């Protein structure tokens, strides 16, 4: 994407901020690290650098839907570490709320699953949680949905949460053979009941187990919520007059493709510690995002609120 030549300095960014009416803010894990929540890919401090003990060929497998279906214990061994807890928020979350208060926030597309935008007072109608969240969870077998906090205690204790609806159904059907699902025999035919009841081989039938409750965060191999594409393509792409990307490495599609599909004449600002090379922004402000947004607000004459719990 060729750079728009008229934008270069911090003051150009301030001018854009002051004049914009419909800002897309695209965020990633970097906006929460000042609160003590690790990002994913930072060397040494990112979550993926701390997962060697799991023995995965790629640490991203903790969020792989196929791995989860095979062995949910891998995800639940780290889930407690990424569960949203206190009601804190960083200056950068405060900045997004400030844009909302000024009537400038079109949409905050967040890849974060920590729900901290809500702590800052960003309204649900202004947020698209591109990678879902812990707000709800769904049974992998019967699709029964619960509020996320219904399984928080189990997650905190490192227990794999199971579906209560599945469990109840199994209890009602009992462990009688007629309640068991017959496995297909090797030639693909179901055994008839006679053969089944006569069989002494335990492997001939499955002991029914309740489904695992999976938090509704978007795993690799799963689709993003429909709202993401709907809102971006059918609404925001037309309306946006400024794009601010903050604290994301833009390594994960399709979110990584957002800057590229927006009209060329809409200016794009990038705020992060690490530059990206695969897409061109008009203004790059490299550094701590809390510091950068504070300086932008100072120059704009805006009062930035935040509520940090110091990281120890
Ligand atoms: P990454 O860890 O890939 O990128 C975070 C970026 O923020 C990096 O460029 C850091 O340098 C930068 N950063 C960290 N702290 C910062 C700070 N205080 N100020 C400024 N910049 C800072 O995280 P994401 O891009 O969010 O998906 O990762 C995208 C997705 O990959 C996640 O949503 C997650 C992950 O796999 C799922 O779990 C499904
Ligand atoms: Zn179920």
- Residues 133-162: tens digit of each pLDDT: 998 999 999 999 999 999 999 999 999 999
Question: How many angstroms is it from 47 CA to the middle of ligand 1?
Answer: 10
Ligand of minimum distance to the alpha carbon of 211: 2
Name the residue at shortest CA distance from atom 14 of ligand 1: 30
Reported as a pLDDT band with limits 50, 70 and 90, residue 185 is: low
Q: How many whole angstroms separate alpha carbon 113 and alpha carbon 115?
A: 6
Contact in structure between 286 and 44 (CB atoms under 8 Å)? no
∠ CA 132-133-135, rounded to 5°: 130
Q: Which of 131, 144, 234, 306 is catalytic?
A: 131
pLDDT tens, position by position, 61-96: 999 999 999 999 999 999 988 887 778 999 999 999
Q: Which among 106, 99, 110 is positioned nearest to 236, based on CA atoms? A: 106
Supply 163's token pair.
């579906």
Report the residue among 42, 117, 250 best suited for mutation to probe ligand 1: largest number of ligand atoms under 8 A from its CB: 42
131 is catalytic: yes
Q: Are 90 and 34 in contact (CB under 8 A)?
A: yes
Lowest mean pLDDT among 50-64, 189-203, 251-265: 189-203
Cα of 163 vs centre of ligand 1, distance in Å, is: 32
**What does the mean pLDDT of the chain come to?**
89
Query: Is the peptide bond preceding residue 224 cis, with omega within 30 degrees of 0?
Result: no
Measured between alpha carbons, how far is 212 from 228 in angstroms, rounded to an integer?
26
Cα–ligand 2 centroid distance for 132 (angstroms): 20
Q: What is the mean pLDDT of residues 1-22?
A: 93
**Residue with CA nearest ligand 1 atom 30:** 252
130 labeled part of a ligand binding site: no
Instruction: Work out the pLDDT band at 312, boundaries 50, 70, 90.
Output: very low
Residue 311 predicted with pLDDT over 50: no
pLDDT at 279: 74
- Residues linked to residue 181 through DSSP beta bridges, in sequence order: 206
Q: Has residue 201 got a pLDDT over 60? A: no
Residue with the nearest Cα to atom 15 of ligand 1?
30
pLDDT at 177 over 60: no
Segment 8-37 shows an average pLDDT of: 96
Q: Which ligand is nearest to the CA of 137?
A: 2
The rounded Å distance from CA 249 to ligand 1 centre is 5
180: helix, strand or coil: coil
Instruction: At 251, give phi and psi (nearest 5°).
Output: -100, -10
CA distances from residue 220 to 133, 171, 217 in whole angstroms, order as listed:
14, 34, 10
Higher pLDDT, 291 or 207: 291
Q: What phi-psi label fits residue 301: left (phi over 0), alpha (psi between -120 and 50 degrees) or beta? A: left
Residues with CB under 6 A from ligand 1: 28-30, 33-34, 39-42, 46, 60, 63, 111, 131, 218, 247-249, 251-252, 272-274, 288-289
pTM of the prediction?
0.89
Q: Is 163 annotated as a binding residue?
A: yes
SS3 call for 121: coil
Q: How far is CA 13 from the centre of its chain?
A: 28
């Amino acid at each position: 994407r060729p750079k728009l030549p008229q934008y270069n300095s911090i003051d150009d960014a301030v001018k854009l901020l002051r004049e914009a009416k419909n800002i897309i803010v695209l965020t990633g894990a970097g906006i929460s690290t000042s609160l003590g929540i690790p990002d994913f890919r930072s060397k040494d401090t990112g979550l993926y650098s701390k997962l060697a003990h799991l023995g995965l060929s790629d640490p991203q497998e903790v969020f792989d839907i196929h791995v989860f279906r095979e062995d949910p214990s891998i995800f639940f061994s780290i889930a407690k570490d990424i569960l949203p807890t206190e009601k804190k928020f960083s200056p950068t979350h405060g900045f997004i709320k400030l844009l909302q208060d000024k009537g400038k926030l079109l949409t905050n597309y967040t890849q974060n699953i920590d729900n901290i935008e809500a702590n800052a007072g960003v309204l649900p109608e202004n947020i698209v949680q591109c990678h879902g969240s812990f707000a709800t969870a769904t049974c992998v077998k019967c699709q029964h949905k619960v509020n996320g906090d219904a399984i928080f205690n189990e997650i905190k204790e490192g227990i794999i949460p199971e579906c209560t609806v599945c469990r109840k159904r199994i209890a009602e059907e009992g462990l009688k053979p007629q309640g068991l699902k017959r496995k297909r025999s090797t030639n693909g035919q179901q055994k008839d009941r006679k053969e089944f009841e006569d069989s002494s081989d335990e492997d001939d039938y499955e002991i029914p187990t309740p489904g695992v409750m999976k938090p509704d965060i978007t795993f690799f191999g799963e689709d993003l919520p429909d709202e993401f594409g709907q809102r971006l393509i059918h609404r925001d792409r037309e309306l946006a007059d400024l794009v601010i990307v903050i604290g994301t490495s833009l390594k994960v599609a399709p979110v990584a493709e957002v800057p590229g599909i927006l009209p060329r004449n809409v200016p794009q600002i990038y705020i992060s510690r690490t530059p990206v090379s695969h897409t061109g922004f008009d203004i790059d402000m490299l550094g701590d995002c809390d510091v950068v947004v504070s300086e932008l607000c100072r120059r704009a004459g805006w009062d930035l609120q935040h509520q940090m719990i110091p990281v120890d």
